[in-house]
Amino acid sequence: MDYQILTFQVTEKIGLITISRPQVLNALNATFFLELNALLDEIVERDDVKVLIIRGEGEKSFVAGADIGELTSLDPERAYHYSKNGQDTFDRLGALNIPVIAAVNGFALGGGCELAMACDFRIASRNARFGLPEMMLGLTPGYAGTQRSSRISGLGNALYMMLTAEMVPADDALRMGLVQKVVEPEALMEEVMKLAMKMASNGSAALKTVKKVIRQGADLP
């Protein structure tokens, strides 16, 4: 497949996906979901990827949300399927049998925050800003952010983020449990790669089993 938005490279069993639409702060559109699904098809068939990292190109934004221009052209039926496709894609990402790390720089808003939450955990630069501001547009988060946010950061924090539509700085996101570590912007990828290599040094079967049973157990009563 000829990728327009995503780039993918593998180094020492670490896969790195970069979202590259810096002109619109890496906003998500239909092409992004098409390409991410194609990449996931490839990754599940590869034996040389033990950890996956997702980042946004540039210092300003991980992903600043969905492409509003594209959304406004949708009728209700197409909007439903657009949202369902996003949910299904992020479910696939979370269900990968390898750890997935979001390296969050700059804005992670709306769909970008939901993408980060679909990953297994999040490492943020100090300039990161998280938010679910859909309420300001009279909408709800479309990619299952209403469900993931409470599971990750607790009911009160999830309601606060969505009902106020406020942006949450990296240090507050750490306090809320939304991110696991905050580092200086220039150290973000170095820290994420270090963590990824530490995980990749573990046995493949144990790595996959631990992720599987933790994920499955979290959804049980």
Contacts of 213 (CB under 8 A, 6+ apart): none
Q: How does pLDDT run along the chain (221 residues), one tens digit per residue?
A: 789 999 999 999 999 999 999 999 999 999 999 999 999 999 999 999 999 999 999 989 999 998 877 878 888 898 899 899 999 999 999 999 999 999 999 999 999 999 999 999 999 999 999 999 998 888 899 999 999 999 999 999 999 999 999 999 999 999 999 999 999 999 999 999 999 999 999 988 998 899 999 988 887 87
Closest CA to 63 of 28, 33, 34: 28
Contacts of 74 (CB under 8 A, 6+ apart): 82
Write down the pLDDT at residue 137: 85
Cα 164 to Cα 184: distance, rounded to the nearest angstrom: 27
CATH C-level class of 6-218: alpha beta
Cα 18 to Cα 30: distance, rounded to the nearest angstrom: 16
Write down the pLDDT at residue 203: 87
Structure tokens at 98: 């390898």
Q: Counting every residue, how long is the chain?
A: 221
Cα 115 to Cα 195: distance, rounded to the nearest angstrom: 20
Tokens 């720089």 belong to residue: 105
* Contact status, residue 66 vs residue 28, Cβ threshold 8 Å: yes
Cα 50 to Cα 210: distance, rounded to the nearest angstrom: 13
Show which residues are catalytic. 114, 134
Structure tokens at 206: 């144990």
Write down the pLDDT at residue 67: 84
Cα 90 to Cα 2: distance, rounded to the nearest angstrom: 21
CA 97 to chain CA centroid, Å, is 16
Structure tokens at 143: 């990619």
Q: Hey, what amino acid is at 120? A: D
Write down the pLDDT at residue 84: 94
Contacts of 75 (CB under 8 A, 6+ apart): none
Tokens 């009160």 belong to residue: 156
* Contact status, residue 154 vs residue 98, Cβ threshold 8 Å: no
Cα 37 to Cα 9: distance, rounded to the nearest angstrom: 16
107 C-beta neighbours (distance < 10 Å), count: 24
